[in-house]
Amino acid sequence: MNPDIFLYIMAMCGIGGILALLLPQRHSPKVIAWVGSLTALFLIGGGGRALFTTSAIEKTLWTIPAVGRIVIRVDPLSGLFLVVTGVVFLAVSIFSGSILLRLLNHYNLKVYALMYLSLFAAIVWILISADVFSFLVAWEIMSILCYFLVAYEDENDENPRAAYLMLAMSEAGALAAALGMLLFAAHAGSLEFTALKHAGATGQISAAMRWMIFLLTFFGFGVKAGLVPVNLWLPRAYTAAPAAFAPLLAGATLNLGLYGILRFNGDLLPVLSSGPGLLALIIGTISALLGILYATTENDLKTMLAHSSIENAGIITVGFGAGFVFTASNKPVLAGIAFLVALYHMTNHSLYKTLLLIGSGVVDDRAGTRHLNQLGGLIRQMPVTALLFLTGVLGIAALPPFNGFVSEWLTLQTLLRSAELLSTGQKIVFALCGAGLALTAALAVTCFAKAFAMGFLGMSRSPKAEQATEPKFSALASMAILSVLCLLLGILPTYVIGGLNHAISPVSSTNEAAAALVPPFFNGSPGHEKLPAAFLSDFHDLGAQVGQHIAPGPGLVILHRGGTKNPVVFAASPTYMFIVLAALLAVLFIVVNLVFGWRRTVTRRPCWDGGIRRLLPEMTYTATGFSNPVRVIFQSVFRPTIVEDTRETVGEHFRTAIRRQDEERHILDRLLLTPGRKTAMAVARFFAGMHQGHLNAYVAYVLGALLAGLLMNYLL
């Protein structure tokens, strides 16, 4: 494979940007749609080839005297991220061709097209960079372009502020990550990734320095991934971003933070102790739980999905943490499974979150609002959109047969393999994190049941929602592509696992993760003859060999084997599950319509409504009421401030109205930002007071400083 293909892809982005500047502004959405889609297809092809290569491919571009070689390098890990980025950009580019037309007379679409395609090139550059210098340059370009794209709709004053907060926190994270990388490079004597990896493998870096590099890179890249406690920017930025750009934030740029964490702490400087892995486990669990709690109580569809991105980034980080711990504990197969499952969930999240954010943009465009309390009944006006949105909801809620179920189920099963660890403390951390993720999964079902039910079912709660219509074909096509992929990754996990086994090769010391999850039950598959005869016989009776003459590959069953006393640790077959579910639904449809339908007569009469002449939208169940039990149960987390609490009565007995307005502040704002702000202001006031006084006081300050300096000099 020639790595030049990725340089050609970046050149295509540049040509598209120039073309957008030269053509009339009304053609800019078409330029994004056609150039972006074509470039994305090339990226999917190139990334796919890189994913299945057996070794990394490297090329030197230039040599800068003060810096060294500028190198690009593509291996299976970067290949996976390139493929996922290509799929996301393909769907978003198609969607942009229609959704951007509503901004034609308000903003300069030429500038948007140039920034969009430049961001595409910057992301590709980050994923193929193989030296610290070019990586940081590409990262800075990406961060600045994200700032301008989030602030693009600047008629709303809140959008530039949200973009500035994102830029400020991104720069702080980039500086921390850069410091970690430069410390790493200083000990390696080079900025090239190959030299860094050699230094990490040969023990040139002390344990204390490894910890420092881990903390700097983990939390530095964790800003972009949206991990606690450096994620306060994310909900505001996602909400402020244009409808055509928000899917990229969740489906592409968030992955860059995860890529940085895994590349530097799993590939270039693998962890040697369990401490970093346990920290990643705890941070990931807290991120997942807080993310889904705030998503469940949020009524703005876009903001809800933003908090959900924090949740999913936390789940992926839990997988990374488990992999780090298993690596340090000399459990290479379990470590490989953990990394594989984390990348599986990363891929799934990119697909269904992009789908749902596109759906959110469609709802906002056609219904005029994203607030769930003002929606409802959209399934009657927008049935195709509702169906496609439902596939994303089922995927993100981890319900079979869609993709989120497989990766979340495997994540929980991987955490249960902590039983093989020797340390009791590690087992306790794994158990608590597993319980936290189980609670997260349950809340996710509640959250997205609310999102679909309150948005698409029931009766319309606003005139615009009642008059909504289906979007243009391009928007539906982009959602349909992602919906099909969500289904395929859910019903064919054994093939996905085989592909992801290549991606983990840079961070895993074994290539047996896929074989440990997908036993070769099919005759003729490599390794089939090595399975015990009794084991094969038992699973042959259960149907594990069904489909071997139709489907390629080793089998359709996910199964992790144990020892003699416990031969099966966990097992499932989403493929067979899908076939059975489809068959049951078909039988049910036939029975209902053919057996009972012929003698059924339909009579339409007014529904009994308790004496109410007409049911008003204000009388229906709202999204706020749906999530209120969660808000009450987790009151200690939310702790809302009561802004207004008034009651109106007649004759001091009959209550006619209750008005209560709460103002919620994020728990991180309460626990970190507010105390930090108060401390900084107190220190500032103290020093400000020192500037207002008598001359004798100033002389005393100078004398005190002089005496302190002399004392320090004497002691030293």
DSSP state of 400: T
What is the per-residue pLDDT for 359? 95
Model confidence band, residue 314 (pLDDT cutoffs 50, 70, 90): very high
Which 3 state secondary structure label does DSSP give 493?
helix
Give the tokens for residue 37: 């889609």
In whole angstroms, give the CA distance from residue 99 to residue 472: 9
What is the per-residue pLDDT for 458? 83
For residue 540, pLDDT over 90 is answered with no
Model confidence band, residue 269 (pLDDT cutoffs 50, 70, 90): very high
pLDDT for 286-304, tens place per residue? 999 999 999 999 999 999 9
CB-based contact 571:543 (threshold 8 Å): no
Candidates 323, 259, 318, 249; CA nearest to 288 is 318
Q: What percentage of residues in the chain have a pLDDT greater than 70?
A: 93
Burial class (CB in 10 A: 0-12, 13-18, 19+), 654: exposed
For residue 242, pLDDT over 60 is answered with yes
Mean pLDDT lowest among 481-490, 570-579, 653-662:
653-662
- Residues 512-532, mean pLDDT to the nearest whole number: 84
Which 3 state secondary structure label does DSSP give 663?
strand
For residue 90, pLDDT over 80 is answered with yes
Sign of torsion over alpha carbons 591, 594, 599, 601: positive
For residue 462, pLDDT over 90 is answered with no
Burial class (CB in 10 A: 0-12, 13-18, 19+), 602: exposed
Model confidence band, residue 685 (pLDDT cutoffs 50, 70, 90): confident
Q: What percentage of residues in the chain have a pLDDT greater than 90?
A: 59
DSSP state of 656: E
What is the per-residue pLDDT for 533? 81
What is the per-residue pLDDT for 657? 56
For residue 699, pLDDT over 90 is answered with no
CB-based contact 505:77 (threshold 8 Å): yes
Candidates 252, 310, 267, 222; CA nearest to 126 is 252
For residue 107, pLDDT over 60 is answered with yes
What is the per-residue pLDDT for 29? 93
pLDDT for 647-660, tens place per residue? 565 555 555 555 55
Helix (H) or strand (E) holding 705: helix 695-715
What is the per-residue pLDDT for 528? 80
- Residues 73-100, mean pLDDT to the nearest whole number: 94
One-letter amino acid of 116: Y
pLDDT for 348-396, tens place per residue? 999 999 999 999 999 999 998 899 988 888 999 999 999 999 999 999 9
What is the per-residue pLDDT for 713? 85
Burial class (CB in 10 A: 0-12, 13-18, 19+), 650: exposed
What is the per-residue pLDDT for 677? 77
Contacts of 585 (CB under 8 A, 6+ apart): none
Helix (H) or strand (E) holding 116: helix 109-128
Question: Between helices 424-456 and 383-396, what is the axis angle to 10°?
Answer: 170
What is the per-residue pLDDT for 599? 67
Count of beta carbons in the 10 Å neighbourhood of residue 463: 10
Q: Is 496 or 543 the better-scoring residue by pLDDT?
A: 496
In whole angstroms, give the CA distance from residue 716 to residue 712: 6
In whole angstroms, give the CA distance from residue 277 to residue 218: 11
What is the per-residue pLDDT for 538? 79
pLDDT for 165-193, tens place per residue? 999 999 999 999 999 999 999 988 899 99
- Residues 591-613, mean pLDDT to the nearest whole number: 72
- Residues 145-162, mean pLDDT to the nearest whole number: 91
What is the per-residue pLDDT for 11? 94
What are the DSSP calls for 513-525, one per residue? HHHHHS---STTS
One-letter amino acid of 640: P
What is the per-residue pLDDT for 601? 73
- Which residue bears the tokens 């799934």? 348
- What is the overall mean pLDDT for the chain? 88
In whole angstroms, give the CA distance from residue 193 to residue 654: 74
For residue 225, pLDDT over 90 is answered with yes
**Residue environment code for 682-702, b if the CB has 16+ CB neighbours within 10 A, otherwise e:** eeeeeeeeeeeeeeeeeeeee
Q: What pairs with residue 648 in β-bridges?
A: 657
How many residues can be counted in the chain?
716
What is the per-residue pLDDT for 194? 92
Antiparallel, parallel or unpaired: β 558-561 and 68-74: unpaired
In whole angstroms, give the CA distance from residue 716 to residue 703: 20
Candidates 354, 120, 128, 430; CA nearest to 259 is 128
Contacts of 410 (CB under 8 A, 6+ apart): 337, 341, 344, 517, 558
In whole angstroms, give the CA distance from residue 201 to residue 196: 9
- Residues 45-66, mean pLDDT to the nearest whole number: 88
What is the per-residue pLDDT for 193? 92
What is the per-residue pLDDT for 686? 76
Q: Is 204 or 318 the better-scoring residue by pLDDT?
A: 318
Give the tokens for residue 385: 């959109």
In whole angstroms, give the CA distance from residue 238 to residue 256: 16
Which 3 state secondary structure label does DSSP give 716?
coil
Candidates 229, 140, 356; CA nearest to 671 is 229
DSSP state of 420: G
For residue 119, pLDDT over 70 is answered with yes
CB-based contact 20:28 (threshold 8 Å): yes
For residue 612, pLDDT over 80 is answered with no
